[in-house]
Amino acid sequence: MIKGKKNRKAFVEEISGLQNIVSNFSSSDQHYTNVMNRLVDYSQSNEKEKVRLLLRVLSAFPQVKRGVKRQDYRSFLLDFETQVSKLGLTDDFLNEELTEKEQKIIILYRDENILKKSRIIEFLNSDIVEPSQHSSLGKSKMITDLLQRLKTSYDPSSDTLLGTDLGIGLEEFQEDLLAVEEEKRILLFRIVNALRGGFIKNELASFICQEIINSGIIEDKLNKEELSDESKIIEKITVAEKAGDFQRSREIAERKKNRSPEPRYDSIFWAIAMSVFAVGLWYFINSL
């Protein structure tokens, strides 16, 4: 198995590179075949423990292009598992509990990629690997990015998401919510309500909260459920940062509004220069 920090880091980079390749599986039939062949070649030439870890990462953190359904991605992975079984890797082996060292590799993968691949919403989940200080900061940043994309896409006149290039569409947001564990949806609900009327306008806050409820959470849980220590930390970091940003923006706007216009020294210079030129021209004309 992989020994040494340097080798673990190299393996994580390997997995991340393969994940980027896998994200193209849906581009065409040829891409599907090419990606599958690449994964099978990798499986044939590497230790079976590496293949198991690769499958765990691909399953837990699906990197899919916009518009691609997770169900299609899962079907692709099932196809890959079928190919792997032909190499002698049984279901029992693939589903075996990971060792402590293998867990550390997945933690390293998450910590290395949580900010680089922040659109993989499954990074918010904590059911695969234990949380860490680094991951809490990364998850806070992910939630902030998600809220910004929602702000970019929300159309109050139609009360829906328009799905701009830098934003997120309604169907995509709904699928993301279903991919996130219940506690993190409750966390998002509470963060949105804490930022309501400030960083997030009331109409958008109501829209997001309703979509979270529609994702299948019992409403009583949204305000009564006790959050984990990790979620409490993420909530405090996110609310403090975005509420602070909003307050600073308001203060800057107020200062600009109340500030007297500053003199334009370049304009004063040219006014004096033109006056001197005019006086000089007058004396020149009268001396003729």
3 state DSSP class of 133: helix
Name the DSSP class of 161.
E
CB proximity list for 199: less than 8 A, separation 6 or greater = 147, 242, 243, 245, 246
CB distance 200 to 147 below 8 Å: yes
The pLDDT-based confidence of 269 (bands split at 50, 70, 90) is: low
Query: DSSP letter at 160?
Result: E
**Domain boundary assignment for the chain:** 1-113, 127-260
Work out the burial of residue 139: count CB atoms within 10 Å of its CB; fewer than 13 is exposed, 13-18 middle, 19 or more buried: buried
Structural element, H or E, at residue 15: helix 5-22
C-alpha distances in angstroms, 40 versus 22, 33, 46, 54, 60? 12, 11, 10, 12, 19
At residue 67, the pLDDT reads 87
Q: Using pLDDT thresholds of 50, 70 and 90, give the confidence band for residue 277.
A: very low
DSSP letter assigned to residue 242: H
pTM, two decimal places = 0.81
Report pLDDT digits (tens) over 12-62: 999 999 999 999 999 999 999 999 999 999 999 999 999 999 999 999 999
- What average pLDDT does the structure give for the chain? 87
Here the tokens at position 151 are 């702000």
pLDDT tens string 152-184: 999 999 999 998 788 999 999 999 999 999 999
pLDDT at 286: 47
Q: What are phi and psi of 160, to 5 degrees?
A: -155, 180
In Å, what is the CA distance from 148 to each residue of 141, 166, 167?
Answer: 11, 9, 8
The answer to whether the CB of 2 falls within 8 A of the CB of 11 is: yes
